Amino acid sequence: MPTDDISFTDFIASSIHDMKNSLNIQVNGLESIATACRARLDNETLATLGPIIHEAHRMNANLIQLLSLYKLGKSIYPTDIAEQSVAEVIHEALLHNRSVMQFKGITIEVDCDAGCYWYFDRDLVTGILLNALNNAYSYTSDKIRIAASEADGWLELRVEDNGRGYPPSMLQEGGVEASKSVNFSSGSTGLGFYFSSRVAQMHKNGARQGSLTIENGGAYGGGCFVVRLP
């Protein structure tokens, strides 16, 4: 294909794909080192590896989110809305984050009925949960709760922590919309909130549309990441 036919966004997407594959190899290597350290009870090295592996997982999730948004924008994402076991999707997301949660000594509570099923895109909603867990990991003291419930034709997914919660300025200035903006002082790009909000909104049932909100409170009194799907 002639170079002139390749758009800048296509070039960036291709580069992100290559970076993601390379990062996956590095993450697998770090996980192997962590397993070896665990076997020989090398807690000092494990404590150093924990934050590094978390950041590697977070960056990998960010790259996947960027690729997904690119495909959604190009209308080439193979969206697959089907009936899913909510408990299984939560389990998969937790399994992906198990090692980093163990490094920090975080206790996970799951409140989801085994018979809870809903229609949604499994991969995209798993991406939302991974984003919410990464966010909670950064701000919790030592507890995270994932809850799923059905009410009035909606599925509500909540990821709560026992940290200090979202700052009043974020909650007063548009909540999720404010979180999507770039903050140069903190280094936040708002990518995770944008991805999660976009995915929630693409789930529709008649006139109803999915949504993402943030609040403080919940079972632990900290930050709450709340997704509602029709």
Pull the structure tokens for residue 77.
């994402």
Q: Smallest Cα–Cα separation from 222: which of 136, 146, 151, 154? A: 136
Confidence tier at 189 by pLDDT (50, 70, 90) = low
Q: How far is CA 83 from the centre of its chain?
A: 21
What was the pLDDT predicted at 1? Answer: 46
d(CA 169, CA 106): 27
Q: What is the pTM of this model?
A: 0.80
Interval 42-83: pLDDT, tens: 888 888 888 888 888 888 888 888 888 888 888 788 889 999
Instruction: Evaluate if residue 34 carries a pLDDT over 60.
Output: yes
Interval 110-162: pLDDT, tens: 999 999 999 999 999 999 999 999 889 988 999 999 999 999 999 999 999 99
What was the pLDDT predicted at 224? Answer: 95
Q: Which residue has the tokens 């919660």?
A: 165
Instruction: Evaluate if residue 187 carries a pLDDT over 70.
Output: no
137 phi and psi, to 5 degrees?
A: -55, -40
Instruction: Evaluate if residue 103 carries a pLDDT over 90.
Output: no
Pull the structure tokens for residue 208.
């109803």
- In DSSP terms, 226 is beta-bridged to 158, 213
User: Are 197 and 226 in contact, with CB atoms under 8 Å apart?
Assistant: no
Q: Which residue has the tokens 């997914």?
A: 157
What was the pLDDT predicted at 186? Answer: 44
d(CA 125, CA 1): 35
Total residues found in the chain within this entry: 230
What was the pLDDT predicted at 6? Answer: 61
Q: Both ends of the chain: CA-CA distance in Å?
A: 43
Average pLDDT over residues 32-45: 87
Alpha-helical regions (H) of 108-212: 122-139, 168-172, 176-179, 191-202
d(CA 77, CA 52): 31
Q: Which of 20-24, 68-72, 223-227 has the largest mean confidence? A: 223-227
d(CA 69, CA 190): 13
d(CA 54, CA 91): 18
**Residue bearing the bigger pLDDT, 41 or 148:** 148
User: Are 48 and 34 in contact, with CB atoms under 8 Å apart?
Assistant: no
d(CA 138, CA 159): 13
CA atoms within 13 A on the CB side of 13: 15
Interval 165-183: pLDDT, tens: 988 877 765 556 545 554 5
For strand 143-151 and strand 107-111, is the pairing parallel, antiparallel, or unpaired?
Answer: parallel
